[in-house]
Structure 1
Amino acid sequence: MSSAKSEWKKRWQGGLGARSWQKFELEGQNFLLKTHVDHREGYEFLFTDLTCLWHEKMDKEEVKKRCKTLNPRFEAPLPTILRLLQDNTETKKDSTDYTIQHQGEVLVLVLETKVGGIRFTWEFHCQQAQKEMLRDQLLEPLMMMVGEQGRRERRLGQLLKAKDREIEDYKMGGATVSRKSLLTEPFDPTSFNKEQLASKEFDTQVGQGWQEAFSRENQDLYREVMVTQAWVNREEEEEEEEGSDEDTMLLGGTTTHHAPGATKGSPSHVEEQRSPSVSPRKRPAGSPLKGGGAVSTPEKSQKDIELMRREALQKRLQEEAQRKQAKKKKKGALF
């Protein structure tokens, strides 16, 4: 990992996308939920049974108002309230009661617990989320995780074959294992896959259902997928912005870099763009006009500049197309 990416990952906040899904079983049903809490601003909450996705976002004033309505006797600062909500949704607490209520198209998740001997109640009033949120927060990351797991499986197969070659080399040199139980067969991916599909473990895994997709290891993988996707998108956005600025410059448009004190369209800025490297008021020494000499007229100089700009622009566009094509191939192989 490059140092730039590593530093960027440390600073990346990500909001709701940076939080992983948690398994939640309520009233005999399996759910997934995630909560993003900003202790100074509010929270955002997602809840799904894979048929529907429900969403609620509350700012700090709304959180305070709802807390006062539901808990008149409970007095606590906003960070304490939000931390309490986060703790009771990131992990299902045995000391907390959870119930689900349906109010039309609104799903209400109610949690009731005790804090310092005082009863605390909270209600998440969730509306059905937009389809884009289901894609961005669940479906697309899951597909990326499947792709990444496949890439890792192929890599592990390559390493096992390399180990087999290493062991064979030791055997040819006369090495033997100390116990027969340590002997292994050479790895064959086709036989391995057939064996796994016929195993009882495969049946058990499938029988556990989709909620096992977010084990502890896969929660970590989900977060890595989301942060890497944000990093890749950031690189593409920066390249597009740079390409737009360069195209503007090549076409002779206004640049975003000005001389100190100059503003767009000011005389000093225009003169900086148009003035040649040699002042037209003073002719270079040793270059007098002679009868057979070629004289560069302003019209001819302007045409040469325009031609150079067009050639540079064409080259720039070709390079940009090649870069985008390479970026697509790299992105496709990333996961």
Structure 2
Amino acid sequence: MDALGWFVIGSEGYAVRAESDDENFVIYLTDMTSIWCERQTATEIMKRCQDLNPLIESTVKHLIQQLRSTLLISHSESNSLTIVSVDQNITLKLESHLDGNLPFSWEFHLTLETTDQFKSFIIRPLLAMLREAACVEEELCNIIRSKDKQIDDYKASGATVSRRHLETKEFNAETFFASRITRTIEESAKEKITSLFCRVVDRLKQLYSVVVERIYFQSSARRSALTVPDVSAEMTEEIPDRGRTSTQSPAKESEESRSEAIKKRLREEEQKEMAKRAKKACLAKIL
């Protein structure tokens, strides 16, 4: 699915994310303490459009494109955004205009997701991005230190910088990060948490997508493993006439088959040897 990264929506401290293809639309909403979601198929999208916009005739693909663009510009004056919370569920109402100034209304009916979903879309990606940022930071510092050593080697060989404004001081990681903290920590502490989260994800959007996809893949694999039926017993009951009782395991049957094959081959070799001996005996009598 093609995804819209997390971005702030409205003024009530919510962030939204959308995923879609030509026939499906998924929207997530979070206030950084919980996460809500609605998944719509092509049939459900067309039904809601008919209910909310009876005068509009459109295709599912065009409606999905309109929903994506409406969400992206939901903070502008031409759109009206309303968030209604009822019994832990949320209705997100959007008002906009299509080409030709035709009014367009939409409602997303989002239900509260589980704690695991919140971890999968918020907590775990943040931790993964933090870890990756730390690894990148360490690698970049090592590269800069290597460059400093290379410059020192050039200088020791008598090389000089042709332009003074290109000359740099030796890199000190502790001093650098200390100065960064004093410049940015106060700004980050004052920023709204959803806004800060969206800004971090936007900077590392590719990494976020990779982490979420991997989590989804692993979750799907676990669910598939849990739902795979145990058919070994059924297979055993269906083929009792093949020399295996219902209590025989595939491993035991395989071992018995190999044993029978070896015995058969030995009998055949013994018969061939006996035939050779008989033939030699006949030749000896003739001679």
TM-score by length of 1: 0.63
CA shift digits 1:45-91 (9 cap, x unpaired)? 11011123221122222222221111111111222112211222245
- Alpha-carbon distance change, 265 to 19 in structure 1, aligned in 2, over 3 angstroms: farther
Helix, strand or coil at the partner of 1:102: strand
Aligned residues between the structures: 246
Structure 1 CA distance, aligned partners of 2:124 and 2:150?
Answer: 39
Query: How do residues 231-246 of structure 1 correspond to structure 2 at under 5 angstroms?
Result: 233=218
Alpha-carbon contact 2:9-2:75 (below 8 Å) kept = no
- Give the aligned residue type for 1:276: A
Residue deviations 1:161-218 (CA, integer Å, cap 9, x gap): 111111111100111112333222222222222222223x442244334323334332
Q: Decide whether aligned partners of structure 1 residues 177 and 202 sit closer, same or farther in structure 2, where only a CA change above 3 A counts.
A: farther
1:133: Cα distance to partner? 0.7
Query: Would you say 1:217 and 2:203 are equivalent positions?
Result: yes
Residue 41 of structure 2 corresponds to which residue in structure 1?
Answer: 59
Deviation at 1:116, TM superposition (A): 3.1
1: distance between equivalents of 2:104 and 2:216? 37
Give the counterpart letter for 2:136 in structure 1. R
1:69 aligns with 2:51: yes
The 5 A counterparts of 1:303-322 are none
Q: Which residue of 2 aligns with 1:276?
A: 261
Q: Contact 1:22/1:90 (CA < 8 Å) preserved in 2? A: no
Q: 1:110 is matched with which residue?
A: 93
* Offset of residue 127 of structure 1: 1.5
C-alpha distance in 2, partners of 1:264/1:151? 57
Distance 1:274 1:264 in 2: 21
Among 69, 75, 82, the residue aligned to 1:99 = 82
Q: Does the 8 A contact of 2:141 with 2:173 survive in 1?
A: yes
Letter in 1 for 2:261: P
Pair 1:47-2:33 in alignment: no
Match of 2:172 in 1: 188
1:80 aligns with 2:34: no
The CA RMSD measured in Å over matched residues stands at 3.3
Check whether the contact 1:109–1:123 (CA below 8 A) recurs between aligned residues.
yes
CA distance in 2, matches of 1:68, 1:203: 49
Q: Within 2, Cα distance between the matches of 1:51 and 1:78? A: 33
Determine if the alignment matches structure 1 residue 36 to structure 2 residue 19. yes
1:156 matched residue in structure 2 = 140
Please identify, of 124-133 and 278-287, the stretch whose mean Cα deviation from structure 2 is larger.
Answer: 278-287
Superposed CA offset, 1:126-149 (max 9, x none):
121111110111111111110000
After superposition, the Cα gap between the structure-2 partners of 1:148 and 1:264, relative to the gap in structure 1 and judged at 3 Å, is farther
User: What is the DSSP-based 3-state SS (H/G/I as helix, E as strand, rest coil) of the residue aligned with 1:281?
Assistant: helix
So what's the TM-score if we normalise by structure 2? 0.73
Q: Distance in 2 between matches of 1:60 and 1:225?
A: 27
| Counterpart amino acid of residue 68 in structure 2 | Q
SS of aligned partner of 2:267: coil
Instruction: Answer yes or no: is the 8 Å Cα contact 2:89–2:112 preserved in 1.
Output: yes
The question of whether the paired residues in 1 share the 8 Å contact of 2:95 and 2:103 is answered with yes
Match of 2:3 among 2, 19, 38: 19
Return the letter of the residue paired with 1:80.
Answer: H
Structure 2: tracts of 5 or more residues without a match: 226-231, 244-252, 276-287
For the 8 Å contact 1:24–1:92, the answer to whether it is kept is no
Q: Distance in 1 between matches of 2:22 and 2:178?
A: 50
Q: Which has the larger radius of gyration?
A: 2
Which residue pairs with 1:5 in the alignment? Answer: none
1:129 matches 2:119 = no
Deviation for aligned residue 1:220: 2.2
Deviates more, 1:100-109 or 1:222-231: 222-231
Distance change (3 Å), C-alpha of 1:89 and 1:64: same
2:13 match: secondary structure: strand
1:265 Cα offset (Å):
7.1
Counterpart CA distance in 1 for 2:274 and 2:209 is 68
